[in-house]
Homo-oligomer: A and B are copies of this chain.
Amino acid sequence: MSLAGRSVVTMDDLSNDEVEAIFSVADEMSDSLHEQSSVCQGKIMASLFFEPSTRTRMSFEAAMLRLGGQVITAVDIGATSLAKGESIADMARVVGSYADIIVIRHPWEGSAKVVADYAGVPVINAGDGGHEHPTQTLLDLYTIKKERKSLRGLKVALWGDLKYGRTVHSLAYALARFGATILFRPAPGLEIPDHVVRKLVTEYGGELRRYGTAERPEAGGLFSLDAIYVTPSTPHQLAMMPDISLQVELEKGVDAIYVTRMQRERRDTAKGEGEIRRDYPVVDKRLLKEKTFKETLVMHPLPRVDELAYELDADPRSMYFKQAARGVPVRMALISLLLGSRKVDTGGDAKGPRIGKSHHVYDRGFGVRCQNRNCVSVNEEKYIKPEFKIVSLKPLTLRCVYCEHETFPKYVASAEWHEGTLKSKRYHSSESHWIKKIRPENLIIFDSESEAQSRGFLPGKHAES
């Protein structure tokens, strides 16, 4: 199928084949960066940045201009339409009538999906809060591919703020999809969140292996933490080291170390910042002397603060400025493909790829809301109907289709009234065995007993878990 007319909100909007197709177009763009000026002539990109980001915005705009297109930019939006009370959906519809493609950065998680739902033109997510930033992941992967020739069977260490680092989560998922082994080296207190690990394991076929203190290898005292082995999810990928030890793995070397700064702006308070900063692991010459890192690509999404020493800038393993530079051809490729100005057929479904497991969707309402207060569905509840994927029944786990945060509602009922009377409207604990008796399409979910009761439901036998 073609990418023309589609939006890219998360990496899951692209199949592995499509990712590879984007990279082959990026190669062409890269080889003749100054000769692409007729590709998107007459097209307009709207660059909507509700959060400032000079680097990302300029990269997108340079990409569009190098393609011969034009750009309308808004970096002042926070102070304007929103102040007047405008919804993201209205903004998307209006700007979608001005421009041929929209690039959006917005602090609310899931906001890019809303823009894509309403704009009527292709939308690229340039970062929606702590959720996704897929073109960053694309350029990260592209850099690895350019240097290592393949995306299959890589060993990549993620380093630093693994809790709030949106680029790190997105990269982890993508690496998993291509069958990589991922090693985690978080700063203290900034460990990779459980839901990310869970998603790596359940959606992308990863296998988690935790190392106890005793068996932790040293490698400069650096990997004293958990490791996740991701085994391939599709047959044509290589199965990866189910049995070998971390020590052996590290001795064979790491393909890339991906460093991130502390995401101060996403932390709720500055509490303990000084402390975190003090213990934050630093990548410098000393570290790179380890045999493990002899041929390791040093990557960073930039901007850096102190976690990546300036002394490495001239080191041939340092990739961070190359990453930034490669953002332009990668974005040129993506923009031209979504606009249909370049064509590539990667087979597959006209509805876009199916990445990860498929799940039942819960959109019945009954007061169930995403518990992430930074989710677009919470902030724009005026017109957004909450919608969740039921990713697990025991424990009952809903994943918001907007921000992908998980919630764990406590009560359930069935839409099939056994007696057809009010009395039969009973709710039960979601932890009781009852939940398995309700057919998914009949499931009604409540966040609280009071919510259930306010809608006329009475406690069932299994209301207490």
8 Å CB contact of A72 from B43, B62, B99: B62
8 Å CB contact of A74 from B54, B74, B324: B54
A41, B43: Cα distance in complex, Å: 15
Interface hit among A196-204, A301-309, A358-366, A398-406: A301-309
8 Å CB contact of A75 from B55, B76, B324, B325: B76
Closest B residue to A98 by CB, please name it: B62
Across-interface contacts of A57 in B (CB, < 8 A) = 74
B62 contacts A302, C-beta separation under 8 Å: no
Question: Smallest Cβ distance from A324 to chain B, in angstroms?
Answer: 4
8 Å CB contact of A310 from B81, B98, B306, B383: B383
1/0 contact string of A296-339 vs chain B (CB within 8 Å)? 00000011111000100000000001001100100000000000
A58 contacts partner chain B, Cβ-Cβ < 8 Å: yes
Question: Smallest Cβ distance from A167 to chain B, in angstroms?
Answer: 13
A328 contacts B97, C-beta separation under 8 Å: yes
A44 contacts B65, C-beta separation under 8 Å: yes
Question: Smallest Cβ distance from A139 to chain B, in angstroms?
Answer: 12
Lowest 8 A-B CB distances belong to which pairs? A86-B303, A97-B325, A52-B80, A62-B98, A85-B305, A65-B70, A310-B383, A94-B324
Q: How many copies does the complex hold?
A: 3
Across-interface contacts of A275 in B (CB, < 8 A) = none
B81 contacts A54, C-beta separation under 8 Å: yes
Across-interface contacts of A382 in B (CB, < 8 A) = 310
8 Å CB contact of A58 from B46, B59, B310: B46
Within A85-120, the residues touching B (CB, 8 Å) are 85-86, 90-91, 93-95, 97-99
A79 contacts partner chain B, Cβ-Cβ < 8 Å: yes
A53, B91: Cα distance in complex, Å: 12
A234 contacts partner chain B, Cβ-Cβ < 8 Å: no
Q: A46-B58, A72-B58 are in contact. Are A86 and B302 (CB under 8 A)?
A: yes
* A-B contact list, 10 entries, CB within 8 Å: A37-B41, A46-B58, A52-B79, A54-B81, A58-B72, A58-B95, A58-B99, A59-B98, A62-B72, A83-B265
8 Å CB contact of A302 from B46, B59, B90: B90
Closest B residue to A35 by CB, please name it: B42
Across-interface contacts of A328 in B (CB, < 8 A) = 97-98
B95 contacts A76, C-beta separation under 8 Å: no
B62 contacts A76, C-beta separation under 8 Å: no
Question: Smallest Cβ distance from A9 to chain B, in angstroms?
Answer: 21
A70, B61: Cα distance in complex, Å: 10
A73 contacts partner chain B, Cβ-Cβ < 8 Å: yes
Across-interface contacts of A53 in B (CB, < 8 A) = 80
Across-interface contacts of A264 in B (CB, < 8 A) = 84
Within A3-52, the residues touching B (CB, 8 Å) are 34-35, 37, 41-44, 46, 52
Question: Smallest Cβ distance from A48 to chain B, in angstroms?
Answer: 8
A150, B278: Cα distance in complex, Å: 62
A66 contacts partner chain B, Cβ-Cβ < 8 Å: yes
A99 contacts B42, C-beta separation under 8 Å: no
B62 contacts A44, C-beta separation under 8 Å: yes
Not counting A54-B91, A75-B76, A94-B324, a sample of 7 additional A-B residue pairs whose C-beta atoms are within 8 angstroms of each other reads A44-B65, A62-B98, A71-B72, A84-B264, A84-B265, A85-B261, A90-B304
Across-interface contacts of A219 in B (CB, < 8 A) = none
1/0 contact string of A258-289 vs chain B (CB within 8 Å)? 00010011000000000000000000000000
A227 contacts partner chain B, Cβ-Cβ < 8 Å: no
Question: Smallest Cβ distance from A221 to chain B, in angstroms?
Answer: 25
A66, B165: Cα distance in complex, Å: 39
A77 contacts partner chain B, Cβ-Cβ < 8 Å: yes
Question: Smallest Cβ distance from A355 to chain B, in angstroms?
Answer: 30
Across-interface contacts of A42 in B (CB, < 8 A) = 34-35, 37, 66
